[in-house]
Amino acid sequence: MTAQDLSGAWSVFLEDGTVQAVSLPGTLDTNGIGEPDEGRDLVSPVIRERLRRRHVYTGKAGYLRQVRLSKEVRNAVLSGERLFLYVEKSRFLTVKWNGRDLSPLTPGSLSTPWIFELTDVVTTGEKDVQSLYAVCNNRYPEGASSGILASGDARLNWNGLVGKILLVTQKQNFIAGACVLTEPTGSLIVQVRLEVKTAFHGTVKAESDTFTRSFEESLDLEAGTHVVTFDVREQDLAPGVLRWDIGEGNLQTLTVSATGCEEKSFSFGIRTLWNDKDGHFLLNGRTIFLFADTFHGLFPHTGYEPCDKNTWKEILSRLQSYGINCVRFDSHCPPDAAFDAADELGLMLLVELTQKGTGHAFETEDDALFWTQLRQILLFEGGHPSFCFLTLGSQIRYTKKGLSRAAEMLQSAKSEVPSCLYSTGSDVFGGALGPSRVDDFFLASGFDKGMLRLCGPGMTGALNRGSGTPVTYDEVVKRIRTEYDGPVVTFEAGGYAILPQRGEAKDYESDVVDADAEAFAERESDRLSDPAVRENLRLSGASMALSCLREETISCLATDSLAGICYAGLVDDPEDAYSLFGMLNAHFQPKEGDFAKPEVFRTFCREVSPLLFLPGSTFLEGTSVHLYAAVANFGRTDIRDSWKIELVEMTPDGTKRQVIRGRHQRLRAIALDEAAEDSGSLATCPAGCVTMLGDALLALPVTGKARIYSVVLTIGSFEVSRKIFLYPRTQTATDVLMTGSVSQALQALSMGARVLLSPRADLTHFADSIQVTFTPDFRSCRTHPDQDGFTSLYIHNRSAAFSDFPTDTVPGEQWRDLMQDARAMGVPKSWQAGSLVDAAGAFDDPKARSVLVEARCGSGRLVLCSLGILEKQESPVVRAFTESLLHFLSSKDFAPSLAITGDELQRVVR
């Protein structure tokens, strides 16, 4: 086989008759060709909702290259070899060589290479200059234009030729490919694909050091494509063969030869992947828990995905460092290089056909396009051990007719590549109608009005309900189990908005993408008087998002027979209304701050996780807490070790002070099943399940003042802790006026009084305000207009206002009741000097915001609160918070530096 690289200078012919020079591989975008994008989806006069393209072109573009065959290629053709054009990535592609139309050897697709045979049209004169004209069309039928690969936004519905562009010679008959597939039974299928020009009479042989013998067959074949199959039984495998597994890219080599053909070698991995009747995934016979992340396919500097293994290895290994064991490619399939990288890393991939949000899937002319795409993905990628899951699209909808066709597609796919698991779609109908009978797994955000994530559009979900009690999806999964026994995985959990770093928009500027960086810079300079305030809010909001992701994960691990969690994305997706919800930016670099460190994320995204279940997080002193301890062990070995529960307090110097140790009389450990042996503090936790260690009745101390403690569960080298907040029962007598009336407050302030002003938290009283929620904004209020865009609180916890209400700078569980039915008021910049709790809105919200401000007003002194605390006094937490503010107001040290007028106050609150 010889090859000639065709990268370099080409000419492009556009539909309007324009002819321009271009450099390939590349796109019209990377070559600066197309109409300017005037922008759309404006959210302000200057900032657009999305990243936008600098150049837009939709339609056909013809790429012309005058080719002179290299000496090596010409000699190979003269010696009788066949000649092919190989284009690694394009759109819908047609090719002419010397003016003659060519048919593809294998039909290409948006996800797979295009290969055309030139043997019968090429000339072999030494000085012959031949014409190659490739027409790329990026205008699609409606159904095929909905997926990420065909997006018209910053992910770029590009037009061009990407990756390798080669002339390749092959012998008259040649080995086109080979793979080793593992059936659920553990037996192997070796498939050899043979391309025959006229006829083949000879033998095909496959061998590997992994096999105890070689496999050979004599064949007489006619012209065409043939697949030769060898069955490899368990006894044909060499002893001690390493399996491909999570984090272990154990690859073997298959050598294939055929009479008259060039010998070729291929890598493969041996692994089984199936589902059991208890709703779990089995990898190599052991139960695993899926920690999947959604990859949105955004590459701002090029507009298209890379085609080299090293780049993909860097990207995927970074995701893997966060504990991710599977990557889901949202409504697309990545290039072959991504599978090569994942094979070596031991990382599972979930791919999807290129349709998203389609209303009537597989009911139109597009049906044939998706059949082709499916077959080509199976042909080119099905042999990779990392090719583990495939769905027919994302968030699509079916009628009975479309679902019937989808079932046909899955049955065909299962027969071709039995080593993969398949589903009719990811979050089909939002999961509401449940799984199809042909689905190998069910990936959904909910079922029958029940949610399978803790937050969703409109800020719905358990995290914003204010209860603080542990949440599992047991009831939802039980309803699914009445009709389906396959694995259930949550869909796109998380997606909590994080404010951009200062100047971050400029990082997304490139030759192909316009991020409105200047407009962002202008808005940032106009936002707050102190950039440090903005940075504090960014870091606090990011930590809030991380805490929510932790709760999402724990809820999934704690749910009986739930098979995994799929996160909305650890990588930012600024193309989608600046959805900056990741630990990594869109260039796959960790963001600034401890929250983005892989080791922090791995404290809960890990194969072995101790679990603590408490009835809440806030308690009155002297009460008892009934808690449960468990271990989710999805590692490879059983755990048999001692365990303990402790109540600890952090001392001012940062060390832990033990308050209660669980092995003593205050802790009652009970074996709830045979797996948790009642051996004092010794427990056995089998691999592949959640084991209950026991329960504990924890008597909380009487301290006389508010305290923060941590309940710590330790088993062997694994540890988890959950903070709890203790509050006294005392009530402070004070002469501070506590009111919800602005007029009453102003009257008292004019007489020199001290006032806690907390009107009802609504738009009537705070006209320029946004809703506060315990979670940051779900994805973006620009794609979910029923959300206000709240992203963060930052608490100035060193203020004496919190002397009797200890808190971190980031709102923890004790703030859940306070943030329920609360507002973040817009305040003048100058009020930042008196803000005790800063707040932030969406990425494009320039207003300074706060929920708690101290100020001098007239001859009096004031604390203004927009959390609606007077309406929540039934909550012990809110009462403790109120008591702390009243004590603060009545103290001699209450001397606010901020001075405001009554008129200024009435412009903020009514």
Residue 160 sits in a domain whose CATH number is 2.60.120.260
- Residue 222 pLDDT: 97
Strongest mean pLDDT among 396-405, 519-528, 812-821, 837-846: 812-821
Phi/psi-derived region of residue 14, left when phi > 0, alpha when psi is between -120 and 50, beta in every other case: beta
**Whether residues 137 and 278 fall in one domain:** no
What CATH code is carried by the domain that includes residue 201?
2.60.40.10
Q: pLDDT confidence of 674, banded at 50, 70, 90?
A: very low
Query: If you write DSSP's letter for every residue of 139-182 in order, what string do you get?
Result: ---GGGGSSGGG-SSTT----EEEEEEEEEEE-SSEEEEEEEEE
**Number of continuous H segments (helices) and E segments (strands) in the chain:** 14, 50
Q: Average the pLDDT over 188-211 and give the result.
A: 97
To the nearest whole number, what is the mean pLDDT of the chain?
A: 90
DSSP conformational letter for 255: E
Last residue of a domain, one of 681, 704, 727: 727
Report the alpha-carbon angle 895-898-899, nearest 5: 100
Is the domain of 642 the same as that of 585? no
My answer on whether 328 and 425 are in the same domain is: yes
Q: Is the pLDDT reported for residue 459 higher than 90?
A: yes
Residue 679 pLDDT more than 50?
Answer: no
Angle between helices 336-345 and 309-320 (to 10 degrees): 50
Is 435 or 651 the better-scoring residue by pLDDT? 435
Same domain, 151 and 178: no
Domain assignment present for residue 511? The answer is: yes
Joined together, the tokens standing for residue 339 give 């599978």
Residue pLDDT, tens place only, 778-798: 988 877 889 999 999 999 999
Query: CA nearest 562: which of 441, 673, 676, 470?
Result: 441
Look at residue 612 and tell me if it is in a domain: no
CA 747 to chain CA centroid, nearest Å: 53
The β-bridge partners of 327 are 293, 349
Q: How far apart are CA 62 and CA 14, in angstroms?
A: 7
**Cβ-based neighbours of 655, under 8 Å, separated by 6 or more:** none
In a domain, 78, yes or no: yes
Structure tokens at 621: 């002193």
Domain boundary among 113, 148, 170: 170
Q: Is residue 608 part of a domain?
A: no
Asked whether residue 423 carries a pLDDT value surpassing 80, the answer given is yes
Residue 585, helix vs strand vs coil: coil
pLDDT at 656 (0 to 100) = 67
Asked if 80 and 104 sit in the same domain, the reply is yes
Beta pairing, strands 215-232 & 252-258: unpaired
Query: Under 8 Å CB-to-CB from 661, ≥6 apart: which residues?
Result: 644, 646, 647, 667
Q: What is the DSSP string of 625-637?
A: EEEEEEEEE-SSS
Q: Per-residue pLDDT for 676 more than 60? A: no
**Rg of the chain, C-alpha, whole Å:** 31
Structural domain range at position 87: 3-170
Q: Are 681 and 820 members of one domain?
A: no
Residue 442 resides in a domain: yes
In this structure, the number of other CB atoms found within 10 A of the CB of residue 237 comes to 18
H/E element, 71: helix 71-78
Share of the chain above pLDDT 70, in %: 91
Among 205, 237, 272, residue at a domain's last position: 272
Query: What are the residues whose beta carbons fall under 8 Å from the beta carbon of 398, sequence distance 6 or more?
Result: 360, 361, 362, 406, 424, 425, 428, 429
* pLDDT number for residue 677: 36
Least confident span in 314-328, 598-612, 685-699 = 685-699
- In the prediction, which pLDDT does 200 show? 97
Contact 261, 172 (CB under 8 A): no
- pLDDT above 90 covers a percentage of the chain that reads 75
Q: Evaluate whether 89 touches 163 at the Cβ level (below 8 Å).
A: yes
Kindly tell me if the per-residue pLDDT of 579 is higher than 80: no
Q: Are residues 340 and 329 in the same domain?
A: yes
Other CB atoms within a 10 A radius of the CB of residue 606 amount to: 18
Residues 550 and 510 in one domain: yes
Three-state SS for 407-440 is: HHHHHHHHHHCCCCEEECCECHHHHCCCCCCCCC
At 177 the pLDDT is 97
CA angle 241, 418, 218 (to 5 degrees): 75
Give the per-residue pLDDT at 667.
Answer: 40
Query: How confident is the model over 761-789, as a mean pLDDT?
Result: 93
d(CA 732, CA 886): 8
CA 778 to chain CA centroid, nearest Å? 13
Give tens-digit pLDDT for 882-908.
999 999 999 988 999 999 999 999 999
Beta pairing, strands 442-444 & 488-493: parallel
Sign of CA dihedral 295, 299, 305, 306: negative
Q: Assign 654 a pLDDT band (cuts: 50, 70, 90).
A: low
Q: What is the pLDDT of residues 13-64, one digit of tens each?
A: 999 999 999 999 999 999 999 988 765 444 444 445 567 788 889 999 999 9
* CATH classification of the domain holding 485: 3.20.20.80
- 754-761 mean pLDDT: 98
Q: pLDDT-derived band of residue 586, with 50, 70 and 90 as boundaries? A: confident
Looking at the fold, whether 328 and 402 belong to one and the same domain comes out as: yes
Asked if 205 and 66 sit in the same domain, the reply is no
Confidence of residue 503 (pLDDT cuts 50, 70, 90): confident
Strands 160-170 and 26-27, bridge-based pairing? antiparallel
Sequence length of the chain is 910
Distance CA 163, CA 33 (A): 19
Of the listed ranges 149-163, 178-192, 533-547, 637-651, the one predicted with least confidence: 149-163
The greatest distance separating any two alpha carbons of the chain, rounded to the nearest whole angstrom, comes to 107
| Residue 843: per-residue pLDDT | 83
Which residue carries 């008129």 as its tokens?
A: 903
Distance between CA atoms of residues 67 and 69, nearest Å? 6
Q: Helix or strand or coil: residue 895? A: coil
Query: What distance in Å separates the CA atoms of residue 159 and residue 480, rounded to the nearest whole number?
Result: 43
Average pLDDT, stretch 537-563?
96
Q: What is the CATH number of the domain that holds 659?
A: 2.60.40
* 597 belongs to a structural domain: no
| Full DSSP string of 74-96 | HHHHHTT-EEEEEEEE-SEEEEE
Residue entry with tokens 């995934």? 281
The total of structural domains in the chain comes to: 5
Give the full edge-to-edge strand order of the sheet including 564-567.
Answer: 421-423, 387-391, 348-352, 326-329, 290-295, 564-567, 488-493, 442-444
Q: Are strands 754-757 and 737-739 parallel, antiparallel or unpaired?
A: parallel
Query: 1 and 83 in contact (C-beta within 8 Å)?
Result: no
Taking alpha carbons only, the member of 488, 595, 609, 590 closest to residue 549 is 595
Q: How confident is the model at residue 662 (pLDDT cuts 50, 70, 90)?
A: very low
Assign 530 a pLDDT band (cuts: 50, 70, 90). confident
Q: What is the pLDDT of residue 508?
A: 79
- 825 pLDDT tier (thresholds 50, 70, 90): very high
Tell me: do 675 and 749 sit in the same domain.
no
The pLDDT value given to residue 520: 66
The pLDDT assigned to 517 comes to 66
Res 822 pLDDT > 80: yes
pLDDT value, residue 45: 44
Confidence band for 574, pLDDT divided at 50, 70 and 90: confident
- Which single residue is written with the structure tokens 């092959």? 170
Task: Show the tokens assigned to 205.
Answer: 């042989």
Whether residues 183 and 268 share a domain: the answer is yes
Q: Is there a domain that residue 615 lies in? A: no
For 276-332, how does the pLDDT look when each residue is reduced to its tens digit (9 = 90+)? 888 999 999 999 999 999 999 889 889 899 999 999 999 999 999 999 999 999 999
Locate 555 and state its tokens: 């809820």
Written as one letter, the residue type at 260 is: G
User: How is residue 328 written in tokens?
Assistant: 């889901």
Residue 596 inside a domain? The answer is: no
Instruction: Summarize pLDDT for 472-502 with one digit per residue, the tens.
Output: 999 999 999 999 999 999 999 999 999 888 7
